Structure 1
Amino acid sequence: MTREAYAFAREFAAAPPSELCVDRHYLLCAAQGALRLEAHDRSWVLPPARAALIAAGEPIQVAIPQPVTTSSVLFDTGFAPAPPAPLTVFDLSPLARALVSECVAWPDAAEPLPPYARSIFGALAAVAWQLALEPSPVTVPAGRSPELRRALALTEERLGEDVRFDDVARDVGLAPRSLARRFEDECDMTWRAVLRRMRVRRAVEELAAGDASVTTIAHTVGYTSLSAFNAGFRDLTGRTPTEYRATFRP
């Protein structure tokens, strides 16, 4: 008999994408650094003070662009209900953070959880499942067709440059009109809207990576105006970059 739920904390070095699929509902929390998660043609960034709730048996791609420290909590499917979505990334509340920290005291083991631990894991499940109903807006389409995935990769490679749609289309081997239709059909948004989301996602990762100034990060992700960067970041996240970085720490 395995435990109804268990938790652990780990540090990971930067690593390319790999598949993750477990037989328990998985709450993955970032403490330092950031990860990228991909499933169902969408990509999420997971910075500090956020969590990903992954349904049991749901395969996802995990990439680690920078060293990270994470806390993981795994729930048996008979102990916690199915999550509201196969994969959701959301902000952790102070209560959820405290419960995750408490749960790490019970790693995987054969014996059942003591009553106190069962109540803590149960409370965390109740809180996390509720928080998952308000997912993070910092998502980027991953694309289905090879051409669109290539276009997305080229766009991201050139974020810090004067990236142009016609150049991306040419390098993918499609006419601009054809590539524009791919974005509408597969992403349900324009290339320029995807570009804005990519810049915010990269900015979140840069904010989590260290203490680089907001101005430096703005230029790194392709903005020439700090006010435009602040406005674009706030439009998607509801916070300025400085306010967002402040949420990384209790």
Structure 2
Amino acid sequence: MTREAYSFVRTFPAEPARELRVDRHYLLCASAGTLRLEAQGQAWLLPPARAALIEADRPIRVSIPQPVTTASVLFDTGFTAAPPAPLTVFDLNPLARALVDECGAWGESDEPLTAYAGTLFAALAAVTWRLAEQPSPVTVPAGRSPELRRAIESTERQLGGEVRFEDVAAEVGLAPRSLARRFADETGLTWQAVLRRMRVLRAIEELAAGDAPVTRIAHTVGYTSLSAFNAAFRELTGRTPTQYRASFRP
């Protein structure tokens, strides 16, 4: 029988979306690169120094827009209580990062955990379960209906330029008023609010990918004004782009 908790580190190449389901509670931590996670009609970005906590047997869709290195910790459902939500993404604090590193010495095995290792994994669960009660606000609705999903995909393809709502509506075969109603009913947000969130998430991917200047990233995601970009970024993340990038390298 596989031990009650174990850890591993892996590097994955870029790959399209696929479904992931595991029979254990899954703590997924990004140390380099980013992942996109989707579940229950919402999409999250997992950049460095953040973690996702996924409840056992919950299907999620995972896509990797660029190569990523992750540290994973899996907990048997009898070892710890269920997470506070099926899927949450949150910031790791220094204690959690230290515990993830320390637990890395115990991989998958038929040998039971030592008393010391069991204490470490229990402490990691206690810390990260509590952190998961304050999830990241940077999410994007995935949409339920085919039309809204296509509208969101169309908007994302055009982030680097001028995106017109009327053009997106025409592409999915709906009148602008009908599409606006779909956004309100299915996401609780306007199209403009979704666009703003998508631009911030794309900017986070760019910030994690290298050392490109913030001004260039702002233009890449469709902002002509650096001050407008900084304001939108701070509104959603609580930090400036420079501060957010600094948090990738604690």
Sort the TM-score into its range (normalised by shorter chain). over 0.9
Q: Would you say 1:223 and 2:190 are equivalent positions?
A: no
Give the aligned partner of residue 83 of structure 1: 83
Q: Aligned partners of 2:104, 2:26: CA distance in 1, in Å? A: 14
Residue correspondence of structure 1 range 187-198 to structure 2 within 5 A: 187-198=187-198
CA RMSD, aligned part only? Answer: 0.4
2:128 aligned with 1:133, yes or no?
Answer: no
**Structure 2 residue matching 1:222: 3-state secondary structure:** coil
1:182 match: secondary structure: helix
Q: CA deviation at 1:115?
A: 0.7
Partner residue, 1:185:
185
What residue number does 2:31 align with?
Answer: 31
Matches within 5 A, 1:145-160: 145-160=145-160
Give the total of aligned pairs.
250
- How high is the sequence identity, in percent, across the aligned residues? 74
Q: Report Cα offsets for 1:138-187 as digits up to 9, x if no partner.
A: 10000011100000000000001100100100111100000000000001
Distance in 2, matches of 1:246 and 1:15, equals: 26
Alpha-carbon distance between aligned partners in 2 of 1:169 and 1:187, rounded to the nearest angstrom: 16
* Correspondence for 1:71: 71
| Structure 1 unaligned blocks of 5 or more | none
Shift of 1:60: 0.1
- Runs of 4+ with >2 A deviation: none
Partners of 2:61 and 2:210 in 1: how far apart? 24
Q: Distance in 1 between matches of 2:178 and 2:167?
A: 13
Alignment pair present for 1:244 and 2:227: no
Alignment of 1:44-59 (within 5 A): 44-59=44-59
How much does 1:2 deviate? Answer: 1.6
Structure 2: how far apart are the matches of 1:214 and 1:183? 30
> Partners of 1:204 and 1:120 in 2: how far apart?
31
What code does the residue aligned with 1:159 have? Answer: L
* TM-score, structure 1 as length reference: 1.00
After the TM superposition, which residues 102-117 of structure 1 pair with which residues of structure 2 at under 5 Å, given as runs?
102-117=102-117
Q: Distance in 2 between matches of 1:212 and 1:144?
A: 35
